[in-house]
Amino acid sequence: MLVAIPKEIHPGENRVALIPSFITSLTKVGFKVQVEAGAGVGCFYADKAYEDAGATIAPNAEALYSSADILFKVRPPEPSEVGFLREGTTLVCLMDAFLRLDLMEQLAAKRINGFGLEFVPRITRAQSMDVLSSMAAIAGYRAVIEAAELLPKYFPMLMTSAGTITPAKVFVIGAGVAGLMAIATAKRLGAVVEAYDTRPAVKEQVESVGAKFVEFDLETEGTEDSGGYAKAQSDDFYTKQQEQMKAKVAAVDVVITTAAIPGKQAPVLITDDMLQAMQPGSIIIDLAAERGGNTEGAEAGKVVEKYGVRIVGTTDYPSRSAVHASQLFAKNITTFLLNMVKENEFSIDLEDEIVKGALLVHDGQVVHEMIKPLMAQKGE
């Protein structure tokens, strides 16, 4: 079977789904690998590096798609790419399925086997396939680097002949993978770091990477689902949370927000009223901007200034670290595929918890339990 890797065409996307060093992992179990010309240019992998590793080069996307049995991508296919897909192809990528219901229909119509890597279950056996965690760690790191660049202050404490510079104060909201990496990075840069999460169970993790865990007077039972993700809460919960958070954000220099709910708009945690209470020159890095943002007024892909506070809605942090992002992505996606290979034969085993959890479209139908109800609502 031929595994194909196209060049990503989403504007500004520099990652590639497979790097040369992982090709042998596929060829040694019987796969052939083909790469579109220039697919690795955004992360400095030349076509020759792929050829030297055992891949062949397709001159363009149409030629690649027409021969692919399995297609690896980073982002979901654009409309032009869907047109190239041939019936029966297995597609593996970050599918963004909740917001791409039309794509789900198109894939079902072409009888594509569509896997969404963001749906890989968070179980021990699947840790090496967890693309979301790999990319979130990069986002958390890059968020702090950008905050340090934009903040009109030093991060570390400095004692100089001209006086003492006090360290920057950083507040991280959400202690998932991105939040923990942000905490660790800000701490390494010398900031005083505090963090908050609705899940009290993460307190130990927050403290282990050098931050003080902030606790608000809120009911925290039922704030985490079985997969370890934060669950959406009531409007009353968010109102009380905002009231207690206002004093905290007013006292810091940098706020990094990471709160996202799978399949839903991000909860607004920092209101316009809270922005007015913040110090002019403060920075908010809103890692949930692509889903509406945790900050009132945040805009995806833009830097917005309100009341002297800059709200950063950057959405492409992994792409800005394309070399390592592609390396991690390649490891995740390769391991995911190899999990479906038994005795050098590829098969989609619906009894496998990982396979079933990530399979969105199969045999002409949208099959994922979280997506099927949305498709039904769309058809009404």
pLDDT tens per residue, range 331-364: 999 999 999 999 999 999 999 999 999 999 999 9
Mean pLDDT, range 264-272, rounded to an integer: 92
**Domains (range + CATH), the chain:** 2-119+322-379 (3.40.50.720), 133-315 (3.40.50.720)
**Which residue is catalytic, options 128, 133, 244, 279?**
133
- Per-residue model confidence (pLDDT) at position 259: 92
352 is catalytic: no
130 is catalytic: yes
**Which residue is catalytic, options 75, 229, 244, 279?**
229
Q: What pLDDT band is residue 223 in, cutting at 50, 70 and 90?
A: low
Q: What's the chain's average pLDDT?
A: 94
233 is catalytic: no
- Per-residue model confidence (pLDDT) at position 117: 98
- Per-residue model confidence (pLDDT) at position 153: 97
Query: What residues have CB less than 8 Å from 135, skipping those under 6 apart?
Result: 318, 325, 328, 329
**Which residue is catalytic, options 130, 197, 286, 316?**
130
Judge whether residue 152 has pLDDT over 70. Answer: yes
Q: What pLDDT band is residue 233 in, cutting at 50, 70 and 90?
A: low
Query: pLDDT above 90 covers what percent of the chain?
Result: 87
Residue that is written with structure tokens 């990496």 in the block: 181
The tokens describing 101, both together, are: 């219901």
**Which residue is catalytic, options 86, 100, 111, 122?**
122
**Which residue is catalytic, options 80, 96, 125, 127?**
127
Which residue has better confidence, 77 or 219?
Answer: 77
208 is catalytic: no
- Per-residue model confidence (pLDDT) at position 232: 62
Judge whether residue 132 has pLDDT over 90. Answer: yes
pLDDT tens per residue, range 14-37: 999 999 999 999 999 999 999 999
133 is catalytic: yes
Q: What pLDDT band is residue 112 in, cutting at 50, 70 and 90?
A: very high
Among residues 311, 307, 281, 273, the alpha carbon closest in space to that of 294 is found at 311
Give this prediction's pTM: 0.92
pLDDT tens per residue, range 199-215: 888 999 999 999 999 98
- Per-residue model confidence (pLDDT) at position 200: 85
Among residues 92, 139, 151, the alpha carbon closest in space to that of 309 is found at 151
* CA distances to 75, 89, 162, 210, 281 from 151, in Å: 31, 48, 21, 21, 7
Judge whether residue 197 has pLDDT over 60. Answer: yes
pLDDT tens per residue, range 36-71: 999 999 999 999 999 999 999 999 999 999 999 999
- Per-residue model confidence (pLDDT) at position 244: 84
What is the C-alpha end-to-end distance of the chain, expressed in Å? 39
Judge whether residue 149 has pLDDT over 70. Answer: yes
- Per-residue model confidence (pLDDT) at position 199: 86
CA distance 345 to 380: 41
The tokens describing 186, both together, are: 């800000």
CA distance 201 to 322: 32
**Residue 296 per-residue DSSP state:** T
- Per-residue model confidence (pLDDT) at position 14: 98
